[in-house]
Amino acid sequence: MSAKTYEMITIMNPNLATEIVEQRITQWQGIITGMGGQVTKISRWGKRNLAYDVAKFRQGIFVLMHVQGEPKVKDEIERQFKITEDVIKFQTVRLDESQLSIAQSIAEKIETSTTAFTDAERHFDDGESDQTPRRKPTRDGDGEDFQEEDDFEDGRDDASNRDE
């Protein structure tokens, strides 16, 4: 059989340390190369929100890999994904040569936007943001706060005070 190209995306437990994520990636690379395959691209997308809860998680650490190899390589990596508790979801897609360039350009755009987002997040976390905190919406919705009780005479509203 000839080598095929696969795109594998894994979603890992969001509570994992970066070192553990890197260990898993290195472990998978070793399995792939040990079986005669080749990892052509690895994109670490970082922590992202999920569209729905997966294994009781609302976020996950995304890792995308492009792998060339025999179907047995794909089968073994998928088996590893299934038995690794750190992986909460994964998907593998076989790419044709025409799809490969499209997939790579999309992955580059996502990686670029992820890097920009991470930089912005780091900037915000450092307290360097020039944005002022927003006011919480008020109950009447027009931006005006309700009057406090001590603004009224005898603790009643204006209408009841006029009747006296």
Would you state the pLDDT for residue 112?
A: 72
**Mean per-residue pLDDT over the chain, rounded:** 79
Would you state the pLDDT for residue 129?
A: 44
What is the percent of the chain with per-residue pLDDT over 90, rounded to a whole number?
Answer: 56
Q: What span, in angstroms and rounded, lies between the C-alpha atoms of 89 and 52?
A: 12
Would you state the pLDDT for residue 92?
A: 96
Would you state the pLDDT for residue 118?
A: 56
Q: What span, in angstroms and rounded, lies between the C-alpha atoms of 92 and 81?
A: 11
Q: What are phi and psi of 19, to 5 degrees?
A: -60, -40
> Which CATH number applies to 1-57+66-95?
3.30.70.60
Considering only residues 104 and 39, tell me which one the structure prediction assigns the higher pLDDT.
39
**If you average pLDDT over residues 20-41, what whole number do you get?**
96
Least reliable range by pLDDT among 67-71, 72-76, 157-161: 157-161
72-98 tens-digit pLDDT: 999 999 999 999 999 999 999 999 877
96-142 tens-digit pLDDT: 877 767 767 777 777 777 665 555 555 444 444 444 444 444 555 55
Q: What are phi and psi of 145, to 5 degrees?
A: -80, 155
The Cβ-side half-sphere exposure at 20, using a 13 Å CA radius, reads 11
What is the percent of the chain with per-residue pLDDT over 70, rounded to a whole number?
Answer: 65
List 60's β-bridge partners, or say none: 48
Would you state the pLDDT for residue 9?
A: 97
Task: Give the start-to-end residue ranges of the domains of the chain.
Answer: 1-57+66-95
State yes or no: pLDDT of 7 exceeds 60.
Answer: yes
